[in-house]
Amino acid sequence: MRLLIAGSLNGQLSMATKIALDRGAQVSHTETMQLALSHLRAGRGADLMMVDVNLDIAHLIQSLENEHITVPVVACGVENDARAAVKAIRAGAKEYIPLPPDPDVIAAVLEAVSQDQGNLIFRDPAMGSLMQLANQIAPSDASVLVTGESGTGKEVLARYLHGKSRRAAKPFVSVNCAAIPDNLLESELFGHEKGAFTGAIARRIGKFEEANGGTLLLDEISEMDIRLQAKLLRAIQERVIDRVGGAQSVSVDIRIIATSNRNLADEVRSGTFREDLLYRLNVINLQIPALRERPQDIDVLANHFADKYAQANGLPQRKLSGECTRHLHANQWSGNVRELENTMHRAVLLSTGTEIGPEALRMPDGSRMDQTIIGMASGPAAQAVMAAEGVTRTMVGRTVAEVEQDLILDTLDHCLDNRTHAANILGISIRTLRNKLRQYASEGVDIPQPGEGKIAS
């Protein structure tokens, strides 16, 4: 656990530092946010930031987002800083910790972060077979390709592999190849020197150097531009990288784990992915089965998420009713574990009785899952006819562009703004989806946020 503390709060954060060190965390301490950002830019990394609530947390979180640095932020302040605490949470801080620090609270926060990063829950034999192979190859340095549908838990498995490897005490660094524009991804991976391009105001250490000694996760690698794949191949083969604008090569010692929800062999045949890079990445392939293919995991995961979100929201823990469980098993879970987690989070907030019943299972648009399932059970043919008639009525008199826009926005909303999942359902690349959304935004269309529903154009 790498903890980065920013600020002082009259020395009370130094007390938090000592407590965290006693709990086994690796702690770095900076007085200002700028020094904290410099720490992260230098590739020293952090799994958690504890920040003085009096600092500009909104600016810090925006800076982290702008530079594609992913690290949870916890605000710290004296107990009577109620307004500052609320402001920090609204700005994006994950939690507020009152000071003077309580050792049990600090320990709980560190444990929660560790669990979020490596928690892998399963019961189904299909996952049991996969985990047996994962445990067998985890101690090696072999590159691993983790495949499976969106939402199955590919990054969770990658973190598990790192935690079981000989590199567990070293950094685990993740970069989402689908979330970063192509013209910035090279700098994100390999770093850049000051002045290498417009906006390069300081040297920035890339993810390869940040992960030195540890594990680098290349998430959704199928979305990487083929021109950048050549440079990535050299880095993996020779364990040497070149910063953008740099004159000297830098040696790195890392293990590579890549994920994809696409069939990379198909991508090779279509010319969008290098065959030699696939061979380098796919030394070991771990394919995670879809949630519908491991039904015994539905119960254990649903109960886990119910307990997790009840505790997080200060609500009483409730068991799932038998009828609720039956409805969960009847659903196809196209969004897999991620969709199940979102569903249970909503169910915890909507439940009022002593148990979580089927009436609390809501779809993102607010409709009840039990009603949706009952409607499906009334006859596939009748449902198909009704759906076809409904689609025809809504499409007549409209242009192809209008129908396409509605389809994209509805799918995005259904996926709770998960663009990778939406692109997969639509059968288009994440790049095409981003271009479409950018076009709609320039035309004055509001892009829906998670759960908002369809926005009329």
Q: What is the pLDDT of residues 377-410, one digit of tens each?
A: 444 444 444 444 444 445 555 677 777 888 888 8
Q: What is the pLDDT of residues 21-78, one digit of tens each?
A: 877 778 888 888 889 888 887 767 788 898 988 888 888 988 887 776 778 888 888 7
CA distance 2 to 75: 16
Asked whether the beta carbons of 297 and 291 are under 8 A apart, the reply is yes
Higher pLDDT, 415 or 306: 306
Domains and CATH numbers, the chain: 2-118 (3.40.50.2300), 125-289 (3.40.50.300), 292-377 (1.10.8.60), 380-442 (1.10.10.60)
Q: What is the pLDDT of residues 215-261, one digit of tens each?
A: 999 999 999 999 999 999 999 999 999 988 888 899 999 999 999 99
Asked whether the beta carbons of 57 and 7 are under 8 A apart, the reply is no
CA distance 141 to 166: 8
Asked whether the beta carbons of 90 and 111 are under 8 A apart, the reply is no
Helix (H, G, I), strand (E, B) or coil at 168: coil
CA distance 399 to 321: 47
| Sequence-separated (6 or more) residues with CB below 8 Å from residue 229 | 273, 274, 277
CA distance 358 to 376: 16
For residue 129, the one-letter residue type is S
For residues 341-358, give the mean pLDDT: 91
Q: Which DSSP letter does residue 24 get?
A: T
What proportions of the chain, in percent to the nearest 5, are helix, strand and coil?
Answer: 50, 15, 35
**pLDDT for position 182:** 82
Rounded to 5 degrees, what angle do the CA atoms 364, 370, 372 make?
A: 65
Q: At what angle do helices 57-66 and 82-91 cross, to 10 degrees?
A: 10
- Residue owning tokens 């008639």: 389
CA distance 427 to 416: 17
Rounded to 5 degrees, what angle do the CA atoms 209, 214, 219 make?
A: 80
CA distance 327 to 232: 45
CA distance 218 to 228: 13
Rounded to 5 degrees, what angle do the CA atoms 167, 168, 169 make?
A: 95
Helix (H, G, I), strand (E, B) or coil at 260: strand
- What's the pTM? 0.64
The four Cα atoms 422, 425, 429, 430 give a dihedral, to 10 degrees, of: 10
Please give the structure tokens belonging to residue 344: 């249970």
Report cis status (omega within 30 of 0) of the bond before 100. yes
**pLDDT for position 69:** 76
Segments of 20-68 assigned E as strands:
26-30, 48-52
Asked whether the beta carbons of 53 and 88 are under 8 A apart, the reply is yes
For residues 118-146, give the mean pLDDT: 90
**pLDDT for position 382:** 40
CA proximity to 363, closest of 354, 352, 350: 350
